[in-house]
Amino acid sequence: MVLEENDDSVFDPQVTEELVETQYGDVHCIMTGTPRANRPVILTFHDVGLNHKSCFETLFNHEDMQEIVRHLPVCHVEAPGQHEEAKTLPTAYTYPTMDQLSEVLPAVLNYFDINSVIAVGVGAGAYILARFALNYPDLVDGLVLININPNAESLMDTVANKITDWTLTLPDKVITHLFGKDEILTNQDLVATYRHYFTTTMNQSNVSQFLRSYNNRNALEVERPVAGGNVNVRTLMCPSLLVVGDNSPAVEAVVDCNSKLNPTKTTLLKMADCGGLPQVDQPAKVIEALKYFIQGMGYLSSASMTRLRSRTTSSSSNVSLDGSRGRAHTNERARTHSHGTEERRGHAHTDISMESISTVSQNLSNTAEVAC
């Protein structure tokens, strides 16, 4: 089903904020637009140290994103106690595990009368949404997973976390989780913006519990289907777009996740000159990929793709967390490249442009690693 555009219409969606009661506590949700039975809702989940505003505002306020959200409602979900100015969670409250946080989502969908979703998650949120898709495949049409780590913490990671508990403050731990070492040194304005936002608006005690839950996550235990092998392997059933910046601390984890997923339903987008938050650092590129991905599933008309390709753009980006619109544009076309390490992992590569994201999602014929 293609959702036709009406450029002359005034887009002024209804925005509703609700505390949704679940078996693992109340979760703060922001619904923009009205769910309809014949189309999915974009469902987002943020990373540790972030909330829907700091994680997704730059992306969803970008002018290019309006071509998507005028047709697809958006539901932002925030983990317990992670919204702005949240009160400290009660002492008797046991913070949910990552698996349990994925189990709050059916209650959210039921509350807003949502039938299916295209899920967009970052870091911990990507893990939670992938777990949700594994357990409830009929509710998920597609997944966009930024900085996903499908693995449990290793013994070395556990030891390292113990050391950082002694040597780093919570803001420092969050910053090193979100940003790569080079980015912390070279993009100091962005890092300082997020450090300030975190220390002034987020409840430190609550964030610490969310971080501990993420560090104690289980492995997703997904397995790449092999021709002639076990047809009942556990894997993601929907089209999936994996996104990571080449300077992100999550690069290796995302590449590893790609090697474990169904090659006929997965695209890996590795973004050049991009750090730990590609949706903030280069939102226009992420939106372009998202548009082709959604179009490949049968939503959005090709008209908006033509306008996107023809728009004059630049490669600059400005980030603000004060409610103003973030801007980022690019005139670079995404091209795949050959990568010996991934080939040895069994990845298939072809010379394709960004439009191939739509083709992969639509035809489900090959795994593509796209660099842009």
Residue 79 belongs to some domain of the structure: yes
Residue 284: the pLDDT is 96
Residue 214 has pLDDT above 60, yes or no: yes
| 95 touches 213 (CB < 8 A) | yes
Q: Tell me what percent of the residues of the chain surpass a pLDDT of 70.
A: 73
How confident is the model over 64-100, as pLDDT tens digits? 999 999 999 999 999 999 999 999 999 999 999 999 9
| 329 touches 308 (CB < 8 A) | no
- Going through the chain in order, the beta strands assigned E by DSSP cover 15-22, 25-32, 41-45, 74-78, 117-122, 140-146, 240-245, 266-271, 317-318, 327-328, 335-336, 368-371
Mean of per-residue pLDDT scores for the chain? 83
Band of residue 312 on the pLDDT scale cut at 50, 70, 90:
very low
Structure tokens at 18: 């609700």
Instruction: Please give the helix or strand (H or E) that residue 149 lies within, else none.
Output: none
Residue 313: the pLDDT is 42
Residue 346 has pLDDT above 50, yes or no: no
Residue 69: the pLDDT is 94
Residue 316 has pLDDT above 70, yes or no: no
Residue 372 has pLDDT above 70, yes or no: no
Query: Per-residue pLDDT averaged across 268-278, rounded?
Result: 95
Task: Report the alpha-carbon distance of residue 183 to residue 131 in Å, rounded.
Answer: 29
Residue 246 belongs to some domain of the structure: yes
Residue 336 belongs to some domain of the structure: no
Which range, of 203-207, 346-350, 356-360, averages the lowest pLDDT?
Answer: 346-350
Residue 338 belongs to some domain of the structure: no
* Domain tally, the chain: 1
CA distances from 45 to 101, 121, 123, 148 (A): 10, 5, 9, 12
Dihedral of alpha carbons 77, 317, 214, 133, sign = positive
Residue 339 belongs to some domain of the structure: no
Residue 197 belongs to some domain of the structure: yes
Residue 151 belongs to some domain of the structure: yes
Domain encompassing residue 98: 15-297
Structure tokens at 49: 């140290």
Band of residue 349 on the pLDDT scale cut at 50, 70, 90:
very low
| 170 touches 208 (CB < 8 A) | yes
How confident is the model over 126-163, as pLDDT tens digits? 999 999 999 999 999 999 999 999 999 867 766 666 66
Band of residue 368 on the pLDDT scale cut at 50, 70, 90:
low
How confident is the model over 159-212, as pLDDT tens digits? 666 666 667 899 999 999 999 999 999 999 999 999 999 999 999 999 999 999
Q: Tell me what percent of the residues of the chain surpass a pLDDT of 90.
A: 66
Amino acid sitting at position 153: E
Residue 135 belongs to some domain of the structure: yes
Residue 45 has pLDDT above 60, yes or no: yes
CATH number of domain containing 266: 3.40.50.1820
